Every structure is written in C-alpha cells, then in structure tokens.
Amino acid sequence: MPVKGLGEYDTNNIFARILRGEIPSKRVYEDDFAIAFHDIAPQAPIHVLVIPRGPYISIADFTAKASDAEIAGFFRAVGHVAKALELEAPGYRILSNMGEHSGQEVPHLHVHLFGGKPLGAMLVNR
C-alpha cells in the first residue's frame, strides 16, 4: 500500500496546474521558490495557501528531497506573505496537512496561512 503524502508526484494535481497558469488563482505573492494565493474555500477571513514551485507532495516529501535553498526559500516566503498581509501584529496560524490522518486533499505541499480574527482552539475534533 502506498503511503499517502509520499511516492510519485502527480504532475496534473490542481496546484501543479495553478503553478503552470492553467487554472486561475488569486495570487498574493510569488518569488523564485514559492507562490501564494487565496484558498478557494476560505476557513478564516484571511486564508492563503503558500506552495513551493518544486514538485513536492507533502512536508514529508519536501523535507526529505528538497535542497537547503528550496527549504529556506519556501519558509521565508511563508514569512513574507504573512508580513505582506499585515498579519504579524494580530497574529496568525500556519498548518500543513500530510497524508491520510490529516485529510490532505491536494498532493502538492501547501502551507495554509490563517488570520484576520482570533482563531480559537487549534483542533476541533480531539
């Protein structure tokens, strides 16, 4: 049984298609390592997804295979996006689902960035 969140990258997943410009997105940031765009079904007043440009399925795949420059560039991009959205003063939350138990839907690494109001408890179903 393949492990969800690892294995072979699907070059036609929806975020790969957004990266190639085949599907529209509301981009808020881009640099050499990452792009960021609004989530299509926001779960907070601000809900942005930050994704690396490289073909990585999940945080597990990314931390195993990406170069140091890609890893640094990606996480710096997360910080840049939060700052650009003026979320540092009020605060924000980042989250990345990996694999089956997390409910990861899209097999391209993405960090959810939530903000714009007090976000409440970290997990609803404990």
Nearer to ligand AMP, 48 or 87 (CB): 48
Dump the DSSP string for 43-54: SSSEEEEEEESS
Residue 12 CB-density burial (10 A; 0-12 exposed, 13-18 middle, 19+ buried): exposed
Q: CB of 114: closest distance to ligand AMP in angstroms?
A: 10
Nearer to ligand AMP, 16 or 49 (CB): 49
Residue type for position 112: H
Which one is catalytic: 80, 101, 108, 110? 110
Our answer to whether residue 110 is catalytic in this structure is yes
| Alpha carbons 55 and 79: distance in angstroms, whole number | 21
Chain residues in the site for ligand AMP (CB under 6 A) = 14, 23, 25, 39-41, 49, 97, 103-106
Catalytic positions, written as ranges: 110
